[in-house]
Structure 1
Amino acid sequence: MKPISTIYFIRHGQTDWNAEGRLQGQRDIALNAVGQVQAADAADRLAALAGERIAEAEFIASPLLRTRRTMEILRDRLGLAPAGYRSDPRLMEIDFGSWEGQTWAEIRRRDPGGASARDRDRWGYRPSGSSAESYAMLTERVAPVFADLGRSTVVVAHGGVARAMLVALGHLDIKAAPRIAVRQGAVLVVDAAGWRWA
């Protein structure tokens, strides 16, 4: 893999399902009012980090509504055309299959065997459902996106995608990655030196 330029990774702002602790996966849930504020906060952090150079970056988002809205709020706050970015379906969140829409408490009650299997192998476990994915599968999907970046890039995507990216780029191993928290409204900076929150 070629050396990477700086990646500014932003997880989408909060949705009502986030607030309720529900797994969204690829369900298309909109930002709530808190999420809109978080998107604006992320823009302010990005401006402080990159300054005017940010206008020269590439901007890419997952095609889901919550990520596109986060990107558009962010770009507008930066004084850039809200629609001046591209979306990439490979950046969609991990597909949780039959678990989508449920809280972890509900999953543990309704699918105790699946929940236990995931506890034993957070990276390799795939829930039931024809389109469901494991983190290992997600990493195969997203790795080419990050391998192909040619300049500094702002990415707005999802918590699972952030974990997969850090593994694909060699910054975390498969034991550590599923356990990191990926905050909303913060900027995850990834470059040749490693990764850090800003």
Structure 2
Amino acid sequence: MTRIGLIRHGITEWNSLGKAQGVSDIPLNETGRKQASDIGDRLLLEERWDILITSDLSRAIETANIIGSKIGLPISHIDKRVREINCGEIEGTTEEQRIKKWGSEWRNIELGMEKFEDVSNRGVDFLNDIACTNEGKRILVVSHGALIGLTLQKLLPQKFPQTYIDNTSITILNKKEDKWKCALYNCTRHLN
């Protein structure tokens, strides 16, 4: 069995302000660093991991480095396939600003956003590839909310018609004999 722990990066200033981040390279804030430290402490106590992979965006890399320092595991690979959805022109804006600029139907306007299907396809391709090349391993992946959520919806549509992924939550997937199962979803008990 291959086990993959999907972790959303710690919170950033833009997350706190409700701004769309997408591929804008926004660093963690102090709360985000504390969250990353907290999940690192939790992971150290709960189970051993073999491999640590992260998105190429700094908020994910910083989260992975903090976790890795806690569990004694360096980042083994940085992978662009698990970077956040490209939000095009809406990056750096709040919902209120989007409505003011483009109207309440802004989601129906072509604003350069990456298509959800493209995001979920690259997420599923990544999971299948990483599970195949690391069969029987326990792999932590630090990524982003939309990427994780859309990937889960594509991979396990019956279980995940909708998703919400909290900062530094962990979702655990197991793959055995070409079947994916979700053992844990969006868990943040380390933040309480």
TM-score by length of 2: 0.83
Looking at structure 2, the residues matched to 80 and 88 of structure 1 have their Cα atoms a distance apart, in angstroms, of 17
Equivalent residues of 2:5, 2:172 under 8 A apart: yes
Looking at structure 1, the residues matched to 158 and 25 of structure 2 have their Cα atoms a distance apart, in angstroms, of 28
Tell me the CA shift for residue 27 of structure 1: 0.2
Looking at structure 2, the residues matched to 146 and 168 of structure 1 have their Cα atoms a distance apart, in angstroms, of 12
Partner of 2:11: 14
Which amino acid in the other structure matches residue 169 of structure 1? L
Partner of 1:184: 167
Partner of 2:190: none
Tell me the CA shift for residue 115 of structure 1: 2.9
**CA RMSD, 1 decimal:** 2.1
Looking at structure 2, the residues matched to 9 and 75 of structure 1 have their Cα atoms a distance apart, in angstroms, of 14
Partner of 2:139: 153
Tell me the CA shift for residue 37 of structure 1: 0.4
- Of the three residues 56, 81, 89, the one matched with 2:80 is 89
- Of the three residues 101, 106, 125, the one matched with 2:97 is 106
- Of the three residues 129, 149, 153, the one matched with 1:163 is 149
CA offsets per residue over residues 135-180 of structure 1, 9 Å max, x none?
1111122221101123321000000111122123225577x23xx2
Which amino acid in the other structure matches residue 164 of structure 1? L
1:186–1:71 Cα change, 3 Å: same
Equivalent residues of 2:149, 2:164 under 8 A apart: no
Partner of 1:5: 2
Unaligned runs of 5+ in 1: 118-125
Tell me the CA shift for residue 127 of structure 1: 4.4
1:116–1:75 Cα change, 3 Å: closer
- Of the three residues 177, 184, 191, the one matched with 1:196 is 184
- Of the three residues 54, 57, 79, the one matched with 1:61 is 54
Equivalent residues of 2:9, 2:142 under 8 A apart: yes
SS of residue matched to 2:142:
strand
Which amino acid in the other structure matches residue 12 of structure 1? H
Unaligned runs of 5+ in 2: 175-179, 188-192
Looking at structure 2, the residues matched to 28 and 184 of structure 1 have their Cα atoms a distance apart, in angstroms, of 16
Which amino acid in the other structure matches residue 24 of structure 2? R
1:160–1:46 Cα change, 3 Å: same
Greater alpha carbon shift after TM alignment, 107-116 vs 67-76? 107-116
Q: How many residues align?
A: 176
Tell me the CA shift for residue 38 of structure 1: 0.6
1:137–1:49 Cα change, 3 Å: same
